[in-house]
């Protein structure tokens, strides 16, 4: 099974919306429905540690090439089903207010919503008014669902419905944390009815950056300043040399401070 979108399919993924893969016939086979094997090809399989697919897109801050836009920094890509929807509006307002916290950690944020730029600009005015903030990160215009397709942001029931009835996809609520090497480090997928926790996204960034820098892992509900866990691959003796004090609860569960 192909795990990455082939180059021809990537080129096809940038076709204009008149070549939409979502106009599938009702007579499509189960395999056709599962993969929507259209000019875009099979959807890529996004896994932790795989490279974040590159794409070109229009945003509220101009045209971008995603990999160039990341520019060797941490990045957060988060999608929204549509402009002028209640849950999405509260989410973008919350992320906009936390901009300073993400910037302190060297993290770039970029949103995505399945509408055009004209709609985005008007929606941002609402977000700023409702949340009493100034949204300053770009929002991708994905009216043709090219990025939603590339990042598997479409639910299985919606794929089935589209294969049978045609139409346009409903983009689900997704989060991707991407490291400076362009590797996907975390994915979160939410139903449309449930808003995300912006503090949790920041907490995961702290955990990943701490782990990369210090060679540790973090326990449940961990936050900065609390004890961390010594990885199983590190012996207790080596951990004491590296960190000093090591608290052993079990041979496989050892805490330390950094």
Catalytic residue flag (residue 203):
no
The answer to whether the CB of 78 falls within 8 A of the CB of 169 is: no
DSSP type of residue 19: G
Q: To 10 degrees, what angle do helices 117-131 and 86-97 make?
A: 70
The residues, any chain, with a CB within 8 Å of residue 12's CB and separated by 6 or more, are 19, 39, 40, 41
- For residue 177, count CB atoms less than 10 angstroms from its CB and return exposed for 0-12, middle for 13-18, buried for 19 or more: buried
**Could you tell me what percentage of the chain is helix, strand and coil, using 3-state DSSP and rounding each to the nearest 5?**
35, 20, 45
* Residues linked to residue 244 through DSSP beta bridges, in sequence order: none
Q: Which of 139, 146, 157 is nearest to 21 (CA)?
A: 146
Catalytic residue, chosen from 88, 112, 162, 204, is 88
Give me the active site residues, please.
88
């Amino acid at each position: 099974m192909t795990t990455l979108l082939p180059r021809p399919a990537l080129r096809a993924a940038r076709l204009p919306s008149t070549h939409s893969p979502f106009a599938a016939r009702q007579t499509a086979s189960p395999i056709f429905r599962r993969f929507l094997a259209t000019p875009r090809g099979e959807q890529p399989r996004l896994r932790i540690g795989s490279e974040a697919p590159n794409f070109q897109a229009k945003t509220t801050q101009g045209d971008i090439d995603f990999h160039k836009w990341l520019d060797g920094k941490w990045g957060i890509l988060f999608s929204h089903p549509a402009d002028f929807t209640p849950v999405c509006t509260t989410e973008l307002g919350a992320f906009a207010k936390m901009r300073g916290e993400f910037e302190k950690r060297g993290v770039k944020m970029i949103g995505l919503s399945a509408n055009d730029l004209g709609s985005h600009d008007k929606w941002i005015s609402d977000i700023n008014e409702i949340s009493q903030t100034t949204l300053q990160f770009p929002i991708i215009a994905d009216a043709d669902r090219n990025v939603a397709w590339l990042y598997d942001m479409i639910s299985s029931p919606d794929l089935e419905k589209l294969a049978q009835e045609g139409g346009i996809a409903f983009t689900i609520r997704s989060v991707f944390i991407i490291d400076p090497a362009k590797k996907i480090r975390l994915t979160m997928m939410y139903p449309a009815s449930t808003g995300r926790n912006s503090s949790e996204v920041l907490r995961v960034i702290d955990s990943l950056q701490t782990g990369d820098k210090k060679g540790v892992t973090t326990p449940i509900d961990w936050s900065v300043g609390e004890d961390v866990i010594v990885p199983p691959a590190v012996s207790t003796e080596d951990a004491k040399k590296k960190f000093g004090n090591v608290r052993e609860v079990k041979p496989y569960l050892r805490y330390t401070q950094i």
